[in-house]
Amino acid sequence: MKVLIVILISYASAGLAQLVLGLTYRSPSGQKYLISDNPHRSVSNRELYFRAYLNAGVSIVLIFAVMYGLGEYLYYDHGVPWWRYLLEAFTVILIYDFAYYFMHRYPFHEWKILRGVHSIHHASRNPRFIDSLLLHPVETVLGLSLFFGSVALVGGVHIYTLAAMFTTYTAFMILNHAGVDYPKFPFKTLGILAAKHDRHHHSMLSGNYAAVTPLPDIIFGTVE
């Protein structure tokens, strides 16, 4: 039951983020914070929505399959000291962020092996939240597998830690493609990250490869 609640909360957070952004795009006061007034996509709306629905379906199936089928490797449900929640979350985020950086930079951008797969995502030069689902299904599977693999690598986390991380992960993937740079608290940091990711979408040769924090890009000199 708790696993189902974790999944439902994560989808609720994603839905809320999409609702707020949708209203922002339509609001005259919100439009002045758009990074670009046009997403500049090189695909039709038909293909955009086809891929969005396809990848939403793929992610739902994979999430349920992994959460229920491999739960023993991902989470536990017994009491632990408060600091362990924080340590687990910090460790998973660190592993995931660096692993995603290398997958994103090399197989997706610099090597031919997955460049064609990832180029579908770059069909949007100035992304909106729906472009977080403008993906090849292979990329959807790899991204989610990397997240769950990072959790499994630390030996699993508390169910509450998993709930917080997965909810944040789901919402963050949307907000990273928001196309909105709101320079005031409490959204200033999200605006900076969205602007960095917008610059990444300008070209397959752009930097800013990390997904959660700019730390890997800073360390390896790929900040733009």
The pLDDT tens digits for 90-138 are 999 999 999 999 999 999 999 988 999 999 999 999 999 999 999 999 9
- Quote the pLDDT of residue 19: 92
- Quote the pLDDT of residue 6: 87
The pLDDT > 70 percentage for the chain reads: 100
The answer to whether residue 67 scores a pLDDT higher than 80 is: yes
The answer to whether residue 212 scores a pLDDT higher than 90 is: no
Domain ranges of the chain: 2-220
- Quote the pLDDT of residue 30: 85
- Quote the pLDDT of residue 208: 92
Q: The whole model's pTM is what?
A: 0.92
- Quote the pLDDT of residue 187: 80
pLDDT in tens, 199-208: 999 988 888 9
Tokens of 201: 């979408």
Tokens of 81: 């000291």
- Quote the pLDDT of residue 148: 97
SS (H, E, C) the chain: CHHHHHHHHHHHHHHHHHHHHHHHHHCHHHHCCECCCCCCECCCHHHHHHHHHHHHHHHHHHHHHHHHHCHHHHEECCCCCHHHHHHHHHHHHHHHHHHHHHHHHHHHHHCCCCHHHHHCHHHECCCCHHHHHCCCHHHHHHHHHHHHHHHHHCCCEEHHHHHHHHHHHHHHHHHCCCCECCCCCCCHHHHHHHHHHHHHCCCCCCCCCCCCCCHHHHHHCCCC
Q: State how far the Cα of 35 lies from the Cα of 198, in Å rounded to an integer.
A: 8
